């Protein structure tokens, strides 16, 4: 019994010694730095079974250098701290810029570990926002954005208000010409024609009343575009089946619309050789404005177009010349009286601004550059730019800037110079000859001296320096009408404005010529 008890004690002791040895064998030593347990400073820590040695790299911001720095720490994760959970991933979740690697294979195994972390080159600290140091920058950015937004809103409001005031100003300017009362309404006379309205309501010779004009403008049916010029586009339109011409001005030519509308609505302006004015209207909102000018429609178009496709005989040439002179004379003449008409200078006479009627007569159109002279106040509303009109048709004094723009007769004489060139264009297309009738091809004045689109310098050199004028063909001497017109045009384009004929003088001369020709026939 005693021997058995002794043997059992020995076995227990042996088993304990084996277990102790086994326990000692499972202990591992780790290299530590910054995480040594029990404040050990010898750089060694021990892990029990289930523990882990680790190496960690953590990103930090250096305020002095303005760059990222990386700190490496070594240590032990005891088993009771569940350290293996932290060793499952190389990148620590929810922690910016930190990486851990673990091991337990041999002593100091963590000293050789090199956890991977992506280095940054930016100079912006990710911790600045978290620490609240970026708040001033956010406030500044928000303030600038707010200021820019408010500024743009103010600009938009100012622009819309400006457009609204401009539209109101245009309407006020337009409304003052004719009050709508005392005139028949278009809707009340459904069968009336434009000529009926003009006869009933334009006793002053200045056009239809405002209410009628606006109603007509709203009822226009646009058909097709028939031309495009410097100031706008011209459309053929219909009103109650009647054909009319509608000139739609470009938005940049607002001043031309105002001037032309004002000239057409001048008292006693209506004349058989002035393009018949029907209505003017402004359509628009705060963002766009459409300016319309409605006039009589003439299917032959401009004199410029007509001469390219038609030749003239002496009789038709005389009619055209006389009617142009008649219209120009009416423009230039001041009519005195309670409702008198001021003297008007066109300032852009050319074949493109003269239209041909169905009966062969002509009418003057396009008054966007015209000026009026008020004799009672001695006022003339001339824009500051003394060079007006089309360069090819400009008089010498306009080209060399010697014209006195404050002297109204100077503008009328400039019109007569341009009228002389128009006469030359028409005379070239007039047939002459006994057995074989011939006419020259249509060309514009100075076609052989300057380019198609001449500059001021080109025209100045030809007209003022060289004093060149269009050539007078010898064949004109064989026809009375051409012979008379050749003398008239040469006096009209004389270099000295004071020598030039007046429109009234030309009109009387051509009237007498027509009488003489008629008497010879009879």
pLDDT above 90 as % of the chain: 44
Q: Hey, how many other C-beta atoms are within 10 angstroms of the C-beta on 230?
A: 12
Classify residue 176: in a domain, yes or no.
Answer: no
Residue 174 scores a pLDDT above 80: no
Task: Report the pLDDT value the prediction gives residue 175, as an integer from 0 to 100.
Answer: 57
Task: Look at residue 467 in the predicted model and tell me its pLDDT.
Answer: 96
Asked whether the predicted pLDDT for residue 270 surpasses 80, the reply is yes
The reported pLDDT for the residue numbered 128 is 45
d(CA 452, CA 465) in angstroms, rounded, equals 20
pLDDT at residue 1, as a whole number: 55
> 243: closest CA among 252, 234, 251?
234
Same domain, 37 and 64: yes
What is residue 2's predicted lDDT score, i.e. its pLDDT?
54
Domain that holds residue 333: 301-517
Catalytic residues: 348
Name the strand (E) or helix (H) holding 281: strand 277-284
Question: Quick one: 97 and 245 in the same domain?
Answer: no
Please give the mean pLDDT across all residues of the chain.
82
At residue 248, the pLDDT reads 92
* Domain harbouring 469, CATH code: 1.10.510.10
11 in a domain, yes or no?
no
In this structure, the answer to whether residues 292 and 343 fall within a common structural domain is no
Burial grade of 503 (CB within 10 A; 0-12, 13-18, 19 or more): buried
Question: Does residue 359 sit in the same domain as residue 425?
Answer: yes
In a domain, residue 130? The reply is: no
Give yes or no for residue 116 having a pLDDT over 50: yes
Q: Quick one: pLDDT at residue 334?
A: 93
d(CA 340, CA 333): 11
Q: 54 has which bridge partners?
A: 75, 102
How far separated are the first and last CA of the chain, in Å rounded?
Answer: 182
DSSP one-letter string for 292-338: EEEEE--TT-BHHHHHHH--B-HHHHHHHHHHHHHHHHHHH--B-ST
Decide which of 338 and 81 is more confident: 338
For residue 349, what pLDDT is reported?
97
**Dihedral over alpha carbons 275, 441, 503, 400 (to 10 degrees):** 100
Lowest mean per-residue pLDDT among 96-105, 217-226, 371-380:
96-105
Q: What is the mean pLDDT of residues 53-78?
A: 81
For range 97-124, the mean pLDDT: 77
Same domain? 265 vs 353: no
Region of poorest pLDDT, from 201-205, 232-236, 478-482: 201-205
522 inside domain: no
* Global model pTM greater than 0.85: no
Mean pLDDT (whole number) for 254-282: 89
* CATH code: domain of residue 103: 2.10.60.10
pLDDT tens digits, one per residue of 277-289 = 988 888 765 566 7
User: Between 33 and 219, where is the model more confident?
Assistant: 219
- Residue 78: the pLDDT is 75
- pLDDT band at 482; cut points 50, 70, 90: very high
| Strand 34-35 versus strand 67-77 pairing type | parallel
Last residue of a domain, one of 296, 327, 362: 296
Who has greater pLDDT, 88 or 474?
474
The answer to whether position 511 is within a domain reads yes
- 234: buried, middle or exposed (CB in 10 Å: 19+, 13-18, 0-12)? buried
Query: Residue range 126-133: average pLDDT?
Result: 50
Q: Are 247 and 297 in contact (CB under 8 A)?
A: no
Residue range 371-397: average pLDDT?
Answer: 83
Q: Is residue 373 part of a domain?
A: yes
427: nearest Cα among 510, 520, 312, 309: 312
Query: Helix, strand, coil % (nearest 5) of the chain?
Result: 45, 20, 35
Q: What is the pLDDT of residue 350?
A: 97
Q: Find the Cα–Cα–Cα–Cα dihedral 411, 416, 422, 423, rounded to 10°.
A: 170
Both 317 and 287 in a single domain? no
The residue-averaged pLDDT of 167-175 equals 61
- The Cβ of residue 161 has, within 10 Å, a number of other Cβ atoms equal to 11
The whole-angstrom separation of Cα 323 and Cα 137 is 78
Neighbours of 174 (CB within 10 A): 19
Q: What pLDDT score does 71 carry? A: 83
Q: Are residues 376 and 485 in the same domain?
A: yes
- pLDDT of 95 over the 60 cut: no
pLDDT for 178 equals 44
**pLDDT higher at 124 or 315:** 315
Task: Name the pairing type of β-strands 232-239 and 289-296.
Answer: unpaired
Same domain for 228 and 377: no
The reply to whether 345 falls in a domain is: yes
* Residue that finishes a domain, picked among 112, 141, 161: 112
Digit-coded pLDDT (tens) for 134-144: 677 888 888 89
Same-domain check for residues 263 and 313: no
Structural domain count of the chain: 3
How distant, in Å, are the alpha carbons of 263, 481, 493 from that of 486? Answer: 32, 9, 11
Are residues 468 and 339 part of one domain?
yes
Under 8 Å CB-to-CB from 402, ≥6 apart: which residues? 396
Contact 270, 206 (CB under 8 A): yes
What pLDDT shows up at residue 67?
78
Q: Determine contact, residues 196/242, Cβ cutoff 8 Å.
A: no
**215 and 337 together in one domain:** no
Indicate the pLDDT class of residue 125, thresholds 50, 70 and 90.
very low
Same domain, 225 and 314: no
Cα-Cα-Cα-Cα dihedral sign, residues 271, 275, 278, 282: negative
* Of 239 and 95, more confident: 239
* pLDDT band at residue 18 under the 50/70/90 scheme: very low
Check if the beta carbon of residue 310 is closer than 8 Å to that of residue 260: no
Given a contact cutoff of 8 angstroms between Cβ atoms, the answer to whether 495 and 489 are in contact is no
| Residue 241 CB coordination number (10 Å) | 7
Please give the pLDDT value at position 378: 85
Most confident of 172-176, 239-243, 334-338, 368-372: 368-372
At 415-446, the pLDDT tens digits run 999 999 999 999 999 999 887 888 999 999 99
Q: How many residues in total does the chain contain? A: 522
For the cut 80, the answer to whether the pLDDT of residue 145 exceeds it is: yes
Among candidate residues 240, 270, 296, the one where a domain is terminated: 296
pLDDT value at residue 310: 96
Would the pLDDT of 190 be above 60? no
238 is in an annotated binding site: no
Q: Which residues pair with 224 in a beta bridge?
A: 236
Does residue 218 belong to any structural domain of this protein? yes
447-482: buried (b, 16+ CB within 10 Å) or exposed (e) per residue? eebbeeebeeebbbbbbbeeeebbebeeebeebebb
The CATH number that applies at residue 244 is: 3.30.200.20
- Top pLDDT among 449 and 115 is at 449
More confident residue, 77 or 131: 77
């Amino acid at each position: 019994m005693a021997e058995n008890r002794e043997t059992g004690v020995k076995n227990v002791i042996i088993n304990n010694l084996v277990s102790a040895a086994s326990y000692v064998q499972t202990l591992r030593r780790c290299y530590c730095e910054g995480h040594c347990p029990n404040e050990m400073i010898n750089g060694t820590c021990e892990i029990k079974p289930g523990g882990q040695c680790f190496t960690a790299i953590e990103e930090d911001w250096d305020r002095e250098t303005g760059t990222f720095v990386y700190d490496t720490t070594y240590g032990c994760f005891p088993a009771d701290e569940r350290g293996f959970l932290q060793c499952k991933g190389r990148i620590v979740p929810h922690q910016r810029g930190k990486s851990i690697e673990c091991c337990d294979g041999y002593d100091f195994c963590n000293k050789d570990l090199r956890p991977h972390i992506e280095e940054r080159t930016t100079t912006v600290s990710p911790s600045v926002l978290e620490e609240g140091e970026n708040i001033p920058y956010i406030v500044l950015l928000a303030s600038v954005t707010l200021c820019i937004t408010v500024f743009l809103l103010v600009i938009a409001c100012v622009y819309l208000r400006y457009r609204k005031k401009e539209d109101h100003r245009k309407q006020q300017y337009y409304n003052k010409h004719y009050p709508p009362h005392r005139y028949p309404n278009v809707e009340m006379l459904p069968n009336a024609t434009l000529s009926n309205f003009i006869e009933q309501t334009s006793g002053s010779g200045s056009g239809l009343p405002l209410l009628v004009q606006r109603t007509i403008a709203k009822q226009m049916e646009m058909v097709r575009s028939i031309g495009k010029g410097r100031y706008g586009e011209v459309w053929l339109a219909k009103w109650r089946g009647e054909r009319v011409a509608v000139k739609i001005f470009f938005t940049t030519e607002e001043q031309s619309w105002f001037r032309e509308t004002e000239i057409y609505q001048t008292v006693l302006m209506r004349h058989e050789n002035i393009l018949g004015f029907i209505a003017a209207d402004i359509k628009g909102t705060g963002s766009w404005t459409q300016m319309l000018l409605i006039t009589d429609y003439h299917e032959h178009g401009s004199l410029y177009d007509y001469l390219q496709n038609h030749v003239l005989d002496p009789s038709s040439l005389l009619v055209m010349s006389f009617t142009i002179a008649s219209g120009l004379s009416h423009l230039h003449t001041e009519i005195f009286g309670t409702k008198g008409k001021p003297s008007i200078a066109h300032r852009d006479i050319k074949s493109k601004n003269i239209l041909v009627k169905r009966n062969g007569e002509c009418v003057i159109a396009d008054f966007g550059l015209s000026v009026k002279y008020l004799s009672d106040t001695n006022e003339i509303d001339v824009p500051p730019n003394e060079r007006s009109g089309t360069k090819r048709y400009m008089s010498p004094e306009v080209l060399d800037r010697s014209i006195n723009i404050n002297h109204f007769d100077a503008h009328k004489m400039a019109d007569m110079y341009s009228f002389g060139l128009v006469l030359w264009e028409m005379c070239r297309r007039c047939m002459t000859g006994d057995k074989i009738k011939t006419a020259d091809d249509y060309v514009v004045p100075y076609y052989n001296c300057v380019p198609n689109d001449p500059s001021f310098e080109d025209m100045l050199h030809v007209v003022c320096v060289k004093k060149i004028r269009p050539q007078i063909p010898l064949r004109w001497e064989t026809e009375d009408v051409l012979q008379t017109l050749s003398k008239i045009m040469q006096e009209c384009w004389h270099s000295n404005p004071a020598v030039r004929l007046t429109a009234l003088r030309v009109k009387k001369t051509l009237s007498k010529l027509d009488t003489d020709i008629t008497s010879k026939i009879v």
